[in-house]
Structure 1
């Protein structure tokens, strides 16, 4: 009897320790609050979440920070963005790094193909601010360095620049750092075969990592497929691309992905409609947003015709090159609800 009592007491102590320390450590992080808003779209449709594209490198149309830099990550966190996008590649000796391009020339002081360059060399390559070409003191970061910088502070949208088979490795790294729930991975989906392939990929990645479908209106034409693509993964959001041709007028209705049927599907499925308003270099402004991108909001000074347009059609997540301007406008117009980290 005494032994039973001791076992019960020991068990109760262990439960108390587990619930007091690990749960408290997780629950009091900002990312736990952001995840709540991400995974409960219908409860938070009055709050617009902000994703800093390439870690948020621009202000007023000008590149003022090195993209994919730790400095830009810290700035996005300070601004209050919910998520950053990281472009992931590998060094020649197999280390996961942050780099958008196949080549180092545009964004660093080095030259040559990224995948052919060892980590030791990359650690000598200083990141460059593209607007004026000046070299920063920061060198090419590893993904591990970036994840450590974000832990407990901001979610991470992984833009995989290689083949999908590196994503389980990304997940393993995040898991080792105790932050698998903070990362999101994504793939383009347009038919049942692609859904099946993504399911197999997520089996290899593991259930603690969030998957988001990318749905583009050159291949996805109805709300039923949108519902299927999201429900197949219990996805909390879908990244929606409304393609814009160079000589086309601005969209007037948001296309099929932002139709009334699409919005109804998002509400039934409790998922966010995510729009990308950032620029694609050397392409038409707002190429992924029906011509209503960041340039319209910031350069033309008409945020209602860009960000406001998409919010009116159901968007509750906006990925932008201009997180500072977007967050300021959202706060001014009442689309941001502060995060309470005190309880």
Structure 2
């Protein structure tokens, strides 16, 4: 073998390809944020709903991101907020309602309050809407202790191979806690740690790889708006110039050595809202509509092979037109 690494065989299924980036170089995965519920920034379906998941599958998304909360009787349901107020016709804490109570509550447009036919889905119902290929990324809203229950539900639904879960741990020392929980979980768990460049940096990436051996890490580019950036206009407007440490050349070397995907979240966050930070250094879906090369092209050039977006139809079309998808 002349001391060379054996060539990785190309994978065939979506799940296999996702977990083997070195064997499938150049492939970029698209993740629909809370399902494909928007059309050109207009809400057409309820977020985190079965119809939004089904639309993500139909238009060709590789993954769908959903959020999980638990009802008072312990049922895992798909919802972002801890309360019902924003996305349903009811109000109050999700954790104070039974699953039976939620079954009668319609989902609504968060601004117009228009009611949809869809109801709050259970996590099992969401899993069953994935089909045979599309992967799911479950964000742990109630903490990492929910990992075994989510993995059990996935196993019961027959989608263990399609399951990924993620959490922003807030403290690198909790990697060990996640590893301990996964070690005693009888069902497969593909955990995606969420790293923040201003908090974790490259050392956090190395620690996550060492403790968890993940297939993918979500990299938050926490680039502040209006920072003192001298004469660089992009930086002064809160836009990263180089992608930050988690998309640096060294980060890409770590990713290649670990067969690791780098995941960027292009969700737009208004930098003027107090207490909010950028997820993507200002290179978000909103800019992507008018300058996609400066967003999707930029992130791909800096090593991203997973793009989470609120605008999956546009991103899929751009990737095809740009030669990143067949």
Question: Does 1:79 pair with 2:59?
Answer: yes
Structure 1 residue aligned with 2:206: 227
Q: Report the 3-state secondary structure (helix = DSSP H, G, I; strand = E; otherwise coil) of the residue aligned with 1:52.
A: strand
Q: Comparing 150-159 with 302-311, which one deviates more in the overlay?
A: 150-159
**Shift of residue 189, structure 1, vs aligned partner:** 5.2
**Shift of residue 36, structure 1, vs aligned partner:** 1.5
More helix by percentage: 1
Q: With CA pairs under 8 Å and 6+ residues apart, which has the higher RCO, 1 or 2?
A: 1
* Residues in 1 aligned to 2:297 and 2:215: alpha-carbon distance in whole angstroms: 22
Question: Aligned runs of 1:162-311 on 2, under 5 Å?
Answer: 162-188=142-168, 193-206=173-186, 208-222=188-202, 224-248=203-227, 249-280=238-269, 287-298=278-289, 301-311=290-300
**Shift of residue 87, structure 1, vs aligned partner:** 0.7
**Shift of residue 234, structure 1, vs aligned partner:** 2.7
8 A contact 1:274–1:316 mirrored in 2: yes
Change (3 A) 1:89 1:192: closer
8 A contact 1:286–1:292 mirrored in 2: no
8 A contact 1:62–1:131 mirrored in 2: no
Structure 1 residue aligned with 2:3: none
**Shift of residue 307, structure 1, vs aligned partner:** 1.1
Alignment length, in residue pairs?
Answer: 304
Query: What TM-score do the two structures reach when normalised by structure 1?
Result: 0.83
Structure 2 residue aligned with 1:55: 35
Structure 2 residue aligned with 1:28: none
Change (3 A) 1:67 1:292: same
Q: Report the 3-state secondary structure (helix = DSSP H, G, I; strand = E; otherwise coil) of the residue aligned with 2:224.
A: coil
* Residues in 2 aligned to 1:331 and 1:88: alpha-carbon distance in whole angstroms: 32
Q: Comparing 192-201 with 135-144, which one deviates more in the overlay?
A: 192-201
What per-residue deviation string (whole Å, max 9, x for no partner) do you get for residues 16-49 of structure 1?
Answer: xxxxxxxxxxxxxxx9711121111112231210
8 A contact 1:52–1:319 mirrored in 2: yes
Question: Does 1:36 pair with 2:25?
Answer: no
What per-residue deviation string (whole Å, max 9, x for no partner) do you get for residues 262-302 of structure 1?
Answer: 1111111111111000134786698200000001012xx11
Cα RMSD (Å) of the superposition? 2.1
Query: What TM-score do the two structures reach when normalised by structure 2?
Result: 0.87
Q: Which one has a bigger Cα radius of gyration? A: 1
Structure 2 residue aligned with 1:117: 97
**Shift of residue 236, structure 1, vs aligned partner:** 1.1
8 A contact 1:64–1:131 mirrored in 2: no
* Residues in 1 aligned to 2:38 and 2:271: alpha-carbon distance in whole angstroms: 16
* Residues in 2 aligned to 1:263 and 1:242: alpha-carbon distance in whole angstroms: 15
Gaps of at least 5 residues in structure 2 are 1-10, 228-237
**Shift of residue 63, structure 1, vs aligned partner:** 2.2
**Shift of residue 57, structure 1, vs aligned partner:** 1.9
